[in-house]
Every structure is written in C-alpha cells, then in structure tokens.
Amino acid sequence: MISILVLLFIGFLINWTYSYYKGLEEAYIPIHDVKEIPIIPSEKKVFERAEYALDYLNMPRDENHQRTLETYYDNRAYAGAPPSIPHPVKEKLGIGGNICLQCHQNGGFVDKFNAYAPVTPHPEMINCKQCHAEQQTQTEFVASNFYKRPAPEVGNNNALPGSPPAIPHQLQMRENCLSCHAGPAAVKELWVDHPERINCRQCHVPMRQEVENVQRFIRTNNGTQ
Amino acid sequence: MYTSVHTDRRDFIKKMAVLSAMTAAAGMFPGIVFAEEQERGIPADANLDWKKAPCRFCGVGCSVLIGTENGKAIAVKGDPKSPVNKGLCCVKGYHSILALYGKDRLTKPLVKKNGKYVETSMKEALDLVASKMQKTIKDHGKDAVSIYGSGQWTIPDGYVASKLFKGCIGTNNVEANARLCMATAVTGFLTSFGLDEPMGCYEDIDYADTFVLWGNNMAEMHPVLFSRLLDQRQKRGVKIIDFATRTTRTSMAADKSILFNPQSDLAVGNAICYEIINNGWMNKTFVEEHCNFSKGLTKMGYGLEDNYKFADKPETIDFEDYKTFLEDYTPEKASKISGVSVKDIKYLAAHFGDPNTKVMSFWCMGPNQHSRGTWMNNIIYNIHLLTGKISSPGNSPFSLTGQPSACGTVREVGTLTHKLPHGVVMNKEHRELAAKIWDVPVENIDPKPTYHTVEMFRALDRGDIRFMWIQVTNPMVTMPKLKRYRDGAKKEGRFIVVSDIYPTPTTDIADVILPSAMWIEREGMYGNSERRTQYFEQMVEPPGEAMSDTMQLLEVAKRMGFEKQFYYKDETHIEEIYTEYRKHHEGKKHNMAPLEVLKAQSGAMWPYVDGKSTQWRFNAKYDPACTNGKDFHFYGKKDGKAVIWQRPYEPAAEEPDAEYPYWLGTGRVVEHWHTGSMTRRIPVLHQAMPHAYVELNPGDAKRLQIRTGDMVKLTTRRGEITLPASVNERAVPAPMQVFVPFFDEKMLINEITLDSFCPISKEPDYKKCAVNIEKA
C-alpha cells in the first residue's frame, strides 16, 4: 500500500515538475536576434548609431534651433577639448552617468533650454564630470595668454574638387560620426547630407598625424618567393 | 596563407573566407592608397606636431599627447598607447597646457629691496642666492640652510638638490611637500615590507573582482583610474565599495557606500582582520611562510609641541598574541567606535575573506593624512597579508599618490631629511655608495637626519634655520596651522628664495623670486604611483628668463664652488644627471630603465631588469629579484617575510567637544589641482569651480538655518575664517562634520587646521580637527 502511494507521489512529482518547466517555457518570449550590420571590429564605433541613419535622412531640418560652429567652439578651450557644460546641472552629487545620458545618449528637444541636446559619441564612459565641468561663472582668476588656434575650416579639405573631404579632427573618443554629424543637434555646418551611407570612413579618411609614419616599402628579395 | 597547406580542408576554406573578407575590407578604405593625394591641399592647420609627456598634474601619471604649432602648445589628447590611461584624460589634463599661458606668468627674477620687488637679471639673482647661502653657512652653520621641494620636482630637479645639500653642503635639511601627502605611505611600506612603493600596478584593475576604496574619493581625485574601474564594472560586473567619512561622487557611483566616524577606520580595519581569522578565512600557508607578527609603541602623542621626537620600538610577537589583541575589535566593538553597522563590517570582511575573490584596495589622503596613518597603512596590508591577497594580478593593496613625481622624485630620489637616493643617511654603506657616485668625501654626508617638514618650518620660526629655498610648491597655502609658519617665515634675519611660475602666497614671503620653466618648457622625468618613470622632452620655449629648477640649482652649485660635482654640459645635462642617478639603483631590486627606453615608450616600471618592467614585485613569477625559491619573497626584510603589525585604535589629536562640536576635514575637488596656482589660471577650470566653500550636512544646515551661498564662520582654536556654504551640492558630509577644499588662496582653510601629525611618518592630519560653525 505504502509503496503504491510512494510511487503515485513520485509520479505526481515528476508530472508536476514537468508541467512546471513546461509552463516556464511558454512564459518565455524568445527574443529575436536583431540583425546587425556586419562590421569591422576596429571600426565598430563608426556604426554605433547606424540604426537611426534613415531617420536622420528623412528628418526635416529645424533651422531655428540648430547649433552653429561658433557656439560649438565657444564651449571648448581648443578644437578637440572636452566641452564644458553650458547649462545648470541639478544633480550635483554623482558622476553624471544616466542623469546626463537621459538627454545626451539619444538627444531630443529640451524645452527648458530651447535647444536640441547634443548626442555624446561615447555613452559608454559614464564618469561624465571627469572631463565635462559645469561652469559657475564667466569671470577669470587672471587673464590668459593661451592661443586658441582657429578650428579647422569646414568643407575645403578635399584632395580633388568634389572628392570626399578628409576628417580634419582627432577621432579618439569621437569615432562615432553620426552622433555629431547627423540628427537635429548636429551643428549646422557639420550636417551631413547622406547619413544613410553609414560606413563613413569608406570615403572619409583621417588626416595624417593620426597614423604613424611608416617607412616606404622596399622589396628586398625581388619577388623570388 | 602558404602555411595552411597542411591543415585540413575545412580549415582552409575558413581561412580563405577570412582572407576574402579582409580583402573586401581593404577595398572599403581606398584612403590608405590615396593618403598622399588626400593630404595635398589640406589647410595648414593639420600640421600639428604631437609629442608625448606625462600629465603635469596628479600621481596617476597619464600619458598625454601635446599638439604644438609655431612654438605654442595648443591642444592635448590622451595617449592611446599608454597602459596607464589608454587614451583618456580628465578635465585638468585636457586643459593642462593652458596653465603655461596665464597672463601673470613670472618671467623675470624679482629681488626684494626696501620692501619692494625689483626686476633683475637671472645672473644677478643667482649670484645673490649663492652668496646669501654661503654667508648663512658661515654665520650660522650648514644646518641653517635648507631646501623645501616637491613631488612636482622632476627627477633631475630633486636629484641635484639632494646632491648639492646632502652631498656637497653637508646638511640633511632637504624636505619636500610629499611629506604632507605621501610620507605615511612610505613608512607604511617600510614597516610592513622594508621597501617603498606598491608591489602591484594599475593592470591589477583588469583582474580584480572587488575594489575597496579606503577614504578615497577616486571619482574626483583619480578620475582616470576610476573610469577604468567603471569600465571593468560594465564589462565584468566587478564590485566597487566606498568606505569613507563623507558621501561623494565616488559613493554615488559605487555599488556600496559605507560611512565611518573620522579616525575609526583603525577599528574597522582590525575588525576585518578579526573576522578573517575567526571565520577561518586566513590563508594559513601564506601567513606561515611569508609573514611575521610585530607590535610597536602605543600612545605616541601627536607631535604638537616643538622638537617632538618619536622612535618606534618594534617587538616581535606571535600569532596568538595578535589574535588576543584582536579580541578588542570584534565587529560589535568596532561598530560602537566607528558607527559602521556590524553587518557592513562583516560584509567588507567577507569580500576579503572569500578565497575566490580578488580584491584591490585603493587609498590616498584618507589613511595618509591621519595622525595614526602609518598604523592605518599597516592595517590595510595586514588584511591583504592575512588573506594572501597581495603581489599577484588582481590582488593588490594599492597606495595612490597625488603629485606627478611624489614617487619618482621624493620617494625614489629620496628628497627627505633621512633619505638618500639609495637607502638612508643613518646607514654607513648607503652613505658610502652615495658619496662615491656623488664624488664627495663620505664625511660630507651627515648621518643624522635633521628636520621633517613641519619641524623645518618651526625651525625657521625659531631661527634655527635662516635660509630656505622653496621650489615648485606653495607651503603658504598648504602648511597646517598656517599663521604660525607664515609669521615665522617673515621674521627678520630669514632669507627665503622661491622658484615658481606664478605669484602665490609663497612668493609673497620671498626675498628672491626666481621664474621657473615648467613641465614641457624643459626636459625631465616624472615617476608615477605604479613605479612608472616617464620622460618628456622640451616642446616649447620658457617665457622671458624663466629657467628650469634643475638649471637654477646647477648654477647656484657652480657659484658655490662645486663645479667638480656639477660637471654636466648644458645641452645634455638631463641625460647625464639621469644616467648618474640610475647608478644608485643598480641591481634587480630597483634598476631604472635607461633613457632610450623612456623616450621610446610611455615609461617603464622599475625594477627594470633584462629589458623588462616588473609588474608584480615580491612574486617569483614576475619579479626576478625573488631568490628564496618560494612563490613569494618579501626581500625588503632580511628574513624575506612581510610584517603583520598589531596596531590599535587611538583617538585623533583633537576631537569635537562642547565648544567646538564639529569635525573639520579638508581636501580637493576634481577641477583644481593642489593649491590651484596653475588650474585657477585655466579659465574652464576656474569658471567651473571659482572659489572654496564649506560643505555642511543638510540636517545641520537646516538646524542652523544655513542655505547654499550663505556665509558661514568656522572657528577653531587656531582662528576663524568665513566661507560660503554648500548644502546638497558636490558632496554631503555626515552629520556634525564639515568639509572645505584647500585650493583657494583667498579662503585659506589651513589658517585654522591643526598641525598634529603621525609620529612615525611626521605627516600632518588635515582631515581631523574640531571646529565650531555659525551663520556669519
């Protein structure tokens, strides 16, 4: 009698466990793999915002709220310096992180400042206040003699008339082109008219100094191998 | 591809696929082919010349690339090849070059005549300095002249200073401001291991699972390293535990923030050791093979009185003694002292205790500027030694530094009263080695140390010291209990020479001000926290008659008749000095990399043996100096064993009472470096942080009806100062505590701080004194 009960109980356990896991499986909604654009690892960042490229293409320009190069460079000590934070930051305690990324990861219009939030090219770096400092005053401690070199001009660094311009700025931490060259927060003069051609560096190459000088190649064995 | 012939077919197809992908990829970048054509017709502003240098500011030692054009530094970027910062900088680093171009840069020597500064030529000024020094030695003896340098001295600066004063003049009156920040780290290392500087390196960050930050606001003070921690958390899910007295950016970013009462870290540290031993988490084989137990004197005092002397008397104890001692620090008892919950103490201990967790500790000024700082350093090492979590990748007690060459120049060159480049003045063999390399009679080197920094300024006040040369530092902002030392320096019959790049409160007390060439206006080397020595070349011309500190010292030395010892040629003096300096450190334990290596790469870590940097010292796998045949060899101690120290909790020198009921702590902010003499001249940084403030706990502020921006009067037994309040802004102190940054020369918090110091390291405790606050 007991053995039958035990058997029944074991049967019940097996059945229960089976249906429990079965139930779990049903509750599981399989996530379909997002089809990624095939990429070259070292160029990965170029494509980071590629999924928005078509939106950028079809987006009408909001001329009234576009940034200009002048305001863009006003906010930097020199071309390539991390911009300071031009607006008050409510959250004082903390390193920035999600508080900053709320607006600066994907951008969008901010009523309060009547402007589009610029998109960061490096959202993975979350200690924002490490490099970007909120300005509290416009006064100086003492005057500075620092020479702020004029920023590279736009649109004239082509090799041939009409050929794609080379990239006149450092790429370090700015590898993602679309974050600054497309979208409503992009600077008027830097707006690219073909954001859908997401493989930017196919045609636009960095200027020299970015690359190390390599000796001219000389074949020593005269092709006998 | 030819080698793939003998692999199987599938492999071959795979490789062909890869190859065709690569060909296709190459086809996508026609720019490589047309690079030359692309560059033609490019505007001239692409012709930036980028050269590498270690950053001018903190001890992390980031490698930066500096863009120059037409003899001016105009841009900065992080050096992607640097194993330190991997291309990232902080806001100070990115704007560092602006520090060269403040409008009030000192360009001509100034000599005080009838209370006024008169411009003169460099030659005359140096003549005056040399003759004044000679006259002081004649009238008052060699111990009446002194030099006070800095962890911002380059290695050659500190080396020639030491050689001139210790070797040639024969006085041990050589000190540096690192006494105010790193002296405790040094005594911590020496007592526990017998050799200075961290055994591990920054690469430990890539292997550790848990990071414990001991009173260390890394997000602001070592932001580039903190970003490496955050990066690891994103990639590997590591844990960051902030153990501090105040809620900061670091606490907010950490996985766990634990607050403790000032000074009680000693008790919590011991409680962690108690837990490790009593839960059986101790690594018995490691402790038996590699550790001794010792105790020292207690109730040492606080150094508040002039001519205070203390020498510890170490005594060997056994494990059982140590275990009994720890009975006083059960988590329950430590919790009462520290205000940390028993649960949190056990939480901390469990991270150290878990044999599968690699733990890295970071600390900087919290345990160092501490009246029992050497003890606190020892206790952190105790924890790592008891668990054997030391000297191996990811297991690393790591003492951070605040100045670019506190390690390189002060600790390694030995610009402290008791030190020599190799060893200490008290040791005959060490004196003999130094005298031989310096080409001076060994009798020149005095075997008795003289004054540590605080005592040196006291001696200046008393009149025991009559001549002081201050280089690359700003003691009239940084000395605790400042008023006494400023008044002392201004007394009749004192002669003060200050070498600096801008007017500061320290140049205000000078009789002669020498304009210095800074950083990339000259050639030099810095040594960072991870034993990495980095070289920088001269990239721009110094303004006016500004001259490097090395050159100033050489010129004065020659004028004093030491041409034989200071034989270096002007064009190659940095290289000659460095080559001579390397001789002091020859051998597997401390060999320095040759200059060619430093020029070719982003620095090298000593011991540099057989063309290789040593990443983990004392570990036989990585360190060729280990010779005992075991896995670890703590060769700094004679028997090859590290010391676990029995160090109790003792209260601070001055604790809050009825009259002064609040704790006052001081420190730094991310935007400013040291006393702000450079960073305040960088508009972006000044505008982000224009002045000092006093941070209050919101509860205290509410009770006192103080809001952000209201003026608050702070009163201590040393005086009073009024500052604007900061409530719920950058950071939040615990109840009944206030915090003030020290960078602002207009609001000198050090007027009211206390000059108590750790009796072993003689480093002042800037973090603790009693204060009263009221709305002004």
Task: Kindly state the helix (H) or strand (E) to which residue B719 belongs, with its residue range.
Answer: strand B719-727
In chain A, the percentage of residues whose pLDDT exceeds 90 is 29
Chain B contact set for A39 (CB, 8 A) = none
Judge whether residue B632 has pLDDT over 80: yes
Q: What is the pLDDT of residue B30?
A: 35
Residue B424 to residue B444: CA distance in whole angstroms: 14
At residue A214 the predicted structure's pLDDT band, cuts being 50, 70 and 90, is: low
Lowest mean pLDDT among B33-47, B342-356, B741-755: B33-47
Which pLDDT value is given to residue B43? 41
Three-state SS at B10: helix
Q: Which residues of A touch B219 (CB under 8 A)?
A: 95, 127, 129-130
The pLDDT value given to residue B315: 95
Q: Which long-range contacts (CB under 8 A, 24 or more apart) does B490-493 make?
A: B491/B461, B491/B463, B493/B463, B493/B466
**Confidence category of residue B573, pLDDT binned at 50, 70, 90:** very high
Which residue is associated with the tokens 């300024």?
B457
Is B88 within 8 Å of chain A by CB?
yes
Q: What is the average pLDDT score of chain B?
A: 92
Could you read off the pLDDT of B363-417 as tens digits, one per residue? Answer: 999 999 999 999 999 999 999 999 999 999 999 999 999 999 999 999 999 999 9
Note whether A130 contacts B223, CB cutoff 8 Å: yes
Q: Looking at A56-70, B104-118, B638-652, which range is the least confident one?
A: A56-70
Selecting from B74, B95, B253 the residue whose C-beta is nearest the C-beta of A147 gives: B74
Closest Cα to residue B227, out of B243, B214, B240?
Answer: B240
Average pLDDT over residues A40-58: 79
Residue carrying the six token digits 């790591």: B398
Q: Is B599 known to be catalytic? A: no
Of the listed ranges A161-175, B559-573, B615-629, B697-711, the least confidently predicted one is A161-175
Distance from CA of B226 to the nearest CA of A (A): 8
- Is B728 an 8 Å CB contact of chain A? yes
What's the confidence (pLDDT) of residue A23?
67
Q: Among partner residues A133, A150, A170, which is closest to B77 by beta-carbon distance?
A: A170
Q: Which of B152, B369, B403, B552 is catalytic?
A: B403
B46/A65: higher pLDDT: A65
Subunit contact A140:B105, Cβ cutoff 8 A: no
Regarding beta strands B604-605 and B532-536, do their DSSP bridges make them parallel or antiparallel, or are they unpaired? antiparallel
Across the interface, whether the CB atoms of A126 and B230 are under 8 A apart is answered: yes
Contact assignment for B37 to A159 by CB distance below 8 Å: yes
A129·B88 Cβ contact <8 A = no
| pLDDT value of position A40 | 56
Report pLDDT digits (tens) over A106-117: 999 999 999 999
* Neighbour tally for B493: CB within 10 Å: 9
Residue whose C-alpha is closest to residue B649's, from B370, B383, B385: B370
First-to-last alpha carbon distance for chain A, in angstroms, is 87
Q: What is the ipTM of this complex?
A: 0.75
From the list B35, B94, B732, the residue facing A93 with the nearest CB is: B732
Residues of A in contact with B101 (CB under 8 A): 144-147
- CB-CB under 8 Å, A148 with B74: yes
Instruction: Please indicate whether, in this complex, the C-beta atoms of A152 and B45 are within 8 angstroms of each other.
Output: yes
Catalytic residue flag (residue B403): yes
* Range in A51-65, B250-264, B711-725 with the lowest mean pLDDT: A51-65
pLDDT, tens digit (0-9, with 9 covering 90-100), for B166-186: 999 999 999 999 999 999 999
pLDDT score at B199: 96
B462-520: pLDDT as tens digits? 999 999 999 999 999 999 999 999 999 999 999 999 999 999 999 999 999 999 999 99
Label residue B692 by pLDDT band (50, 70, 90). Answer: very high
Confidence of residue A204 (pLDDT cuts 50, 70, 90): confident
Q: Is B58 a catalytic residue?
A: no
Residue-level pLDDT at B171: 97
Highest mean pLDDT among A129-143, B48-62, B135-149: B135-149
pLDDT, position A18: 85
For residue B404, the distance in angstroms to the closest alpha carbon of chain A comes to 18
In this prediction, residue A3 carries a pLDDT of 85
Class of the domain covering B662-775: mainly beta
CA of A88 vs chain B CAs: smallest distance (Å): 11
Q: Count A/B contacts: CB-CB distance under 8 Å.
A: 195
| Homologous superfamily of B201-296+314-404+640-646 | Dimethylsulfoxide Reductase, domain 2 (3.40.228.10)
Per-residue pLDDT, averaged over B116-121, amounts to: 96
Q: Determine the pLDDT at residue B120.
A: 97
Identify the pLDDT of residue A39: 52
Task: Please give the average per-residue pLDDT across B197-222, as a whole number.
Answer: 96
Percent of chain B at pLDDT > 90 equals: 92
In terms of Cα–Cα distance, which of B61, B420, B400 is closest to B197? Answer: B400
Question: In the prediction, which pLDDT does B128 show?
Answer: 97
| Domain over B114-176+407-567 is classified CATH 3.40.50.740 | yes
CATH number of the domain located at residue range(s) B44-100 in this protein: 3.30.200.210
Catalytic residue among B182, B547, B747, B758: B182
- Chain B, window 665-694: residues with a beta carbon less than 8 angstroms from a chain A beta carbon: 670-671, 680-690
Catalytic status, residue B394: no
Backbone dihedral angles phi then psi of residue B642, each to the nearest 5 degrees: -80, 160
**SS3 track for B114-183:** CCEEEECCHHHHHHHHHHHHHHHHHHHCHHHEEEEECCCCCHHHHHHHHHHHHHHHCCCCEEEHHHHCCH
Residue ranges of B 7-46 with Cβ closer than 8 A to chain A: 25, 28-32, 34-35, 37-43, 45-46
